[in-house]
Amino acid sequence: MRKVVCLLAFVATWISSGMAQQASTPLTARQALLEMFFSKTPGTFVKHLPVATREALEKSGALANLQQYSLLVGQLQTQGQNVQTFETGSVLLTAEDPKTGQKADITVENDSLRGDQDDIEITFHAYKDGKEQLSPFMPQMVFSMKQENQIWKLNEITFTIHVPLADPDFLKAITEKMKPRVASAGGTLVARPEVSASTSAGTDAAVLAAMRTILTAETTYAATYPRVGFTCTLSDLDGFGGGEPNEHQAMLIKSGLASGKRFGFVFTLSGCGPAPSASFHLSAVPNANTYGRKAFCADQAGAIRSSDDASPANCFSAGTRVQ
């Protein structure tokens, strides 16, 4: 009898030890994202917000409303929707309404883990009676997760809509809307186009604003860390985190900009000398999917120049000063 009791005690200890080990296993960034948005446990949404975000929300009094988000998700899941989430594989979530035959999938197109940062790129697919409902607009979202105190936090959300200009369905839809309407004005037929031409000036302005942000951050960084001088590592200027600023995370720019990819451009720091560095080069070059755009460049003097051929070398050597 004593042997049986000892054996049961050993098994109980082994099971409890295994359960404790399983409970202490840290979540992956993908698991944290699912927990944040789809857990029925109150407070999980707020749990995966950065400390700085939580403190700002708490100070403004808005934190209490977000703490009810998990309860709202639980209610939505019980309103006839068959929702399933997947911690691995190409499908992140599937939701189906048996009454209407409609189904939606969220798929993971790319999961880029780099140390304490993980960018999870997702796309959406809609189905009706088993047939995919194609749309000329293909939305994509990137959830940038970053570890803070060993917990994955949602640091940034990027939303992109691809417009397939050569897609026949898209061309048909857009040209129908662009046809002029004929209206009568005092017996005279007047053509009124519905769609006006757009330019890329707004995007260029955003790129220039981003460059000025980096230039200002470089000046502040060099003054704050004189033994280092200017930095040629964008992540050194990163603004994510709840701790004290330091030379490897100075908290001077947003993490999205610190990634070096914004507005269809690639931002690069180069040309730094040995510490303390007294110089640097900053360039913004169109990425592979951005055509017909300029390259922009600047150095420690702060003047921004541009080159119509999108060449950073030509921009630095003979670029036109941006007014």
Q: Model pTM greater than 0.75?
A: no
pLDDT of residue 40 exceeding 80, the answer is no
95-99, 123-127, 304-308: which has the highest mean pLDDT?
A: 304-308
Given pLDDT bands bounded at 50, 70 and 90, which one contains residue 82?
confident
| Residue of 119, 160, 145, 158 lying closest to 37 (CA atoms) | 145
Domain match, 138 and 36 both: yes
| Strand blocks (E) in 163-209 | 181-185, 188-192
Domain that holds residue 170: 164-197
pLDDT of residue 68 exceeding 70, the answer is no
> What average pLDDT does this structure show over 238-250?
79
Domain match, 103 and 224 both: no
65-74, 136-145, 170-179: which has the highest mean pLDDT?
A: 136-145
Q: Residue 177: inside a domain, yes or no?
A: yes
CB 87 within 8 A of CB 39: no
- Between the alpha carbon of residue 109 and those of residues 10, 11, 91, 112, the distances in Å are 46, 43, 9, 10
Residue carrying structure tokens 């200002």: 216
Q: Residue 8: inside a domain, yes or no?
A: no
Given pLDDT bands bounded at 50, 70 and 90, which one contains residue 121?
confident
Q: Residue 7: inside a domain, yes or no?
A: no
Domain match, 158 and 230 both: no
pLDDT confidence of residue 154:
92
Domain match, 151 and 264 both: no
> What average pLDDT does this structure show over 105-133?
83
| Torsions phi, psi for 263 (to 5 deg) | 60, 30
Given pLDDT bands bounded at 50, 70 and 90, which one contains residue 204?
confident
Domain match, 157 and 35 both: yes
Q: Residue 229: inside a domain, yes or no?
A: yes
